Amino acid sequence: MITGNIKASGKLDVTAPYDGQLIATVDKVDKNAIDHALNIASDLYNDRSKWLSADKRIEILTRLSALMEDNAERLILISAQEGGKPLNDTKVEMARAIDGINNCIECIRNNHGEEIPMGLNAASMNRLAFTSHEPIGVVVAVSAFNHPINLIVHQVGPAVASGCPVIIKPADDTPLSCYELVKLFHQAGLPEEWAQVVSPESHDVAEALVTDSRVGFFSFIGSARVGWMLRSKLAPGARCALEHGGVAPVIVAADADLQSALPMLAKGGFYHAGQVCVSVQRVFVEKAIARQVAEKIAELGNKMTVGDPTSADTDIGPIIRHSETNRINEWVEEAINAGAERISGSGKISDSCYSPTVLFNPPENTSVTCKEIFGPVICVYEYEDIDEAIKRANSLDVSFQAAVYTSNLDTAMHAYKQLNASAVMVNDFTAFRVDWMPFAGLRQSGMGVGGIPHTFKDMQIEKMIVIKSGKL
């Protein structure tokens, strides 16, 4: 979706992960097309007469919100088909995405600079200084497959709100939601050249897009391996935000309200087949109740329906690729062979679906303990001393959201202070998020702060004016 007469260099087949059915095809583009898209975007940014005023951006986003409401049912079905997230969960994602656009409008309305104190000494006398904000430049957004509606809103919405031209590369597995959403941006009044979607024909072409000197801001949601590699190749001066995964830890004390906690833990680990960067994965439970917790989570998982994501009865959909289903199975079998106890889970249900699985006390050096599994697998570990559990929770080189379940305020505060995390949920699961809160991976889990207002701020520069006058 590049403006101008651009020829496709190939076709990308988009198939349903559940049954492999061909849904649609989209055009692939080469380096010449990428260069054309960057020229369009950089020319827009460099010609300030073409910048979109704040009132125009509000008008566009307001219309977009209404269009998303009108097209919600269609977008939900497309997203569930191509991404595999069950229909009911995709409905929630759609509602969040619409709310996210309204949040972008609020960001524009509340955007302002500040006065810088002057007249405080001889050097600053007779001066007035204040700041305002301007767009940072061309935004290139590379997105992930697992929330194909909401992630695009989180990247494109703030870019449009901040006044930046944006080029989006959606995940090859789930590009349709992005193409449809950007069409709605255009239908809402955003000139086509302000938001362009590209599906590069190769990794080299995608890298050429990201690392070009015309890029002002790079937004990446995806694997740590790819994100950190691309960051190392950015042009001088380009800023970036990286959002990768974690291996989310949970501490469950013996005094926790299990009636409340257990459904949340099961949902947090099995939601979207565990394909969420802050899914519940490692649950450290006080020994007196550890087996009970593992068995109850397993029981809840066993009641969940695994299957067609477009069915309203489905709780857990497919894994995005067959190779990933095989990898998950290999990691689980590795853990069991190393001594983990399988509390529940029958392994692969099909090439695309994996049964919700609970493992008890996997060894510390197994993949399910050390790496992000990105599958419907919850590991329960027993502990006797909470500080030892926190030490184990903190032992990895990733750090994102964590959680603690307890009825004791001191226990909660101790865990909050000691856990390596950007956010600690008390009596809530690690996957909790609202879209205006800061959302940040630390260490190898990411760089910068997500959340719509924070991304909006990142995509702007603060510009100061200093006025000197003898009348001041």
Rounded CA separation 85/380 (Å): 25
- CA pair distance 443, 440, nearest whole angstrom: 10
Architecture of domain 249-426: 3-Layer(aba) Sandwich (3.40)
Res. 98: pLDDT tops 80? yes
- Residue 112, burial from CB neighbour count under 10 angstroms (0-12, 13-18, 19+): exposed
pLDDT, mean over the chain:
95
Which candidate, 37, 63, 39, places its Cα nearest to that of 160?
A: 63
243 a catalytic residue: yes
Percent of the chain with pLDDT over 90: 92
Rounded CA Rg of the chain: 24
Give the active site residue among 104, 240, 277, 353: 277
Phi, psi of 388 (to 5 degrees): -70, -40
Q: What contacts 48, CB < 8 A, 6 or more positions away?
A: none
pLDDT on residue 442: 87
Catalytic residue among 82, 201, 243, 324: 243
Is 462 an annotated catalytic residue? no
User: No. of H helices and E strands in the chain?
Assistant: 15, 20
pLDDT at 360 exceeding the cut of 80: yes
Q: What is the pTM of this model?
A: 0.92
Domain boundaries in the chain?
10-244+445-466, 249-426
Give the pLDDT score at 7.
78
Q: Convert the pLDDT of each residue in 405-443 to its tens digit.
A: 999 999 999 999 999 999 999 999 999 999 998 998 889
Residue range 4-35, pLDDT digits in tens? 667 788 999 999 999 999 999 999 999 999 99
| Euclidean distance between CA atoms 209 and 186, whole angstroms | 22
User: CA 456, CA 161: separation in Å to the nearest integer?
Assistant: 7
pLDDT (0 to 100) of residue 245: 86
Residue 202 pLDDT greater than 90, yes or no: yes
The pLDDT score that the predictor gives to residue 381 is: 98
DSSP 166: E
Q: How many other C-beta atoms can be found within 10 angstroms of the C-beta atom of residue 250?
A: 30
Tens-digit pLDDT profile for residues 157-190: 999 999 999 999 999 999 999 999 999 999 999 9
C-alpha closest to that of 101 among 145, 72, 134, 66? 66
- Give residue 369's Cα distance to chain centre: 22
Residue written as tokens 């599958």? Answer: 375
pLDDT band at 3 (very low <50, low <70, confident <90, very high): low
Task: Say yes or no to pLDDT of 1 above 70.
Answer: no
Helix (H, G, I), strand (E, B) or coil at 272: helix
Q: How many CB atoms lie within 10 A of CB 48?
A: 9
Q: Which two tokens stand for residue 425?
A: 């949920």
CA distances from 151 to 93, 136, 174, 245, 462 (A): 10, 20, 11, 14, 26
pLDDT of residue 2: 63
- Which residue in 354, 103, 399, 392 sits closest to 248, CA to CA? 399
Q: For 10-244+445-466, which CATH class?
A: alpha beta
CB-side neighbour CA atoms (13 Å) of 96: 22
Q: Rounded CA gap, 221 and 451, in Å?
A: 12
Is the per-residue pLDDT at 261 higher than 70? yes
